[in-house]
Amino acid sequence: MTTIIDGKALGLKIRGKIAEEVAEVSRKVGRKPGLAVVLVGEDPASQVYVNMKEKACLEAGFNSSVYRLSQSTTTDELLNLIDELNKNDGIDGILVQLPLPEQIDEKEVLYSIDPKKDVDGFHPFNVGLLNIGEDTLFPCTPYGVMKIFEEYGIELSGKNAVVIGRSNIVGKPMASLLLRGNATVTICHSRTKDIASICKNADIIVAAVGIPQFVTADFVKDGAVVIDVGINRVDGKLVGDVNYSDVFDKCSYITPVPGGVGPMTIAMLMFNTLKSFKTRTHQY
């Protein structure tokens, strides 16, 4: 029997616990955690994501600051804002919404964020800590997947896990986190030959390739756990990187799209912001 993973319910559960802890810690410290979100340009999807993050912040009891900059913003202008936010003691987390307009140097911008306020977990300092097994601020989406495994009691140790996709945002950190859970990890990507046969041996598949319904039944062995990170719009409908109906009966656990991994990303952004706040105010 296949269990559908309810990321929406789990995300709300985590956010509820965060709100309780925020109320308690804020009283001790004398201020609320602060998250600054920077949005450059008019990308419709980015606008939706930023609004969702702002709403989640307010529900958790955070101070939310959203900086909406014009499409013509330069790299230097954005770097100046980030410098101000780095120096602002009331800001515990800084998130620059991606993608950025093409005239902006994305790498320079992300590298300019104070690693202690890097609640996206994208700064090379935090990436390095992740990869050597130290505690740090982990990228929100793969960290959300790890929380799913924890909540549903899905054992990682000794299991064969395949990550499809090698992005810095999901694929690579997902592989690193799975290794920390003592899984044996294979990363597949656009140059990998016969991905289906590799996945067929996997106990756990994490699809983060950005191709609609890429993973089909011939990728999945009976009883595998399938985590779908993809969000694609096809004919006005949101679909994942997994052909959900095709693989459903073969899985022990599966995440739907929407309602699976997506809500966990927001929850872990809140988690990271609170973690940064507690670290910066010595509330361990």
Tens-place pLDDT, residues 213-222: 999 999 999 9
Within this chain, domains 31-114 and 140-261 share the same CATH topology: yes
H-only helix segments in the chain: 7-29, 44-60, 75-87, 106-112, 124-131, 140-151, 171-180, 195-199, 244-247, 262-280
Query: What are the structural domain ranges in the chain?
Result: 31-114, 140-261
Domain covering 140-261 assigned CATH 3.40.50.720 in the classification: yes
Mean pLDDT (whole number) for 186-214: 97
Predicted TM-score (pTM) of this structure: 0.96
Is pLDDT larger for residue 49 or for residue 155?
155
Mean pLDDT of the chain, nearest integer? 96
**Catalytic residue from among 6, 97, 159, 228:** 97
How many angstroms from the chain centroid is the CA of residue 126? 14
53 among known catalytic residues: yes
- pLDDT exceeding 90 applies to what percent of the chain? 94
Q: Is the pLDDT of residue 277 over 80?
A: yes
**Catalytic residue from among 53, 116, 159, 275:** 53
Mean pLDDT (whole number) for 104-126: 97
- 283 pLDDT band (50/70/90 cuts)? confident
User: At residue 236, what is the residue type?
Assistant: G
Q: Is the pLDDT of residue 118 over 90?
A: yes
Indicate the pairing of strand 232-234 with strand 237-239: antiparallel
**Catalytic residue from among 6, 114, 120, 241:** 120
Is there a contact between 36 and 95 (Cβ–Cβ < 8 Å)? yes
Q: Write down the pLDDT at residue 43.
A: 87
The first and second tokens of residue 64, run together, are 């939310």
Q: Which residues of 21-50 are buried (b: 16+ CB within 10 A; e: fewer)?
A: bbeebbeeeeebbbbbbbbbbebeebeebb
Q: Which CATH superfamily is domain 31-114 in?
A: Leucine Dehydrogenase, chain A, domain 1 (3.40.50.10860)
Q: Write down the pLDDT at residue 216.
A: 98
Q: How many CA atoms lie within 13 A of 75 on its CB side?
A: 11
Q: Write down the pLDDT at residue 236.
A: 87
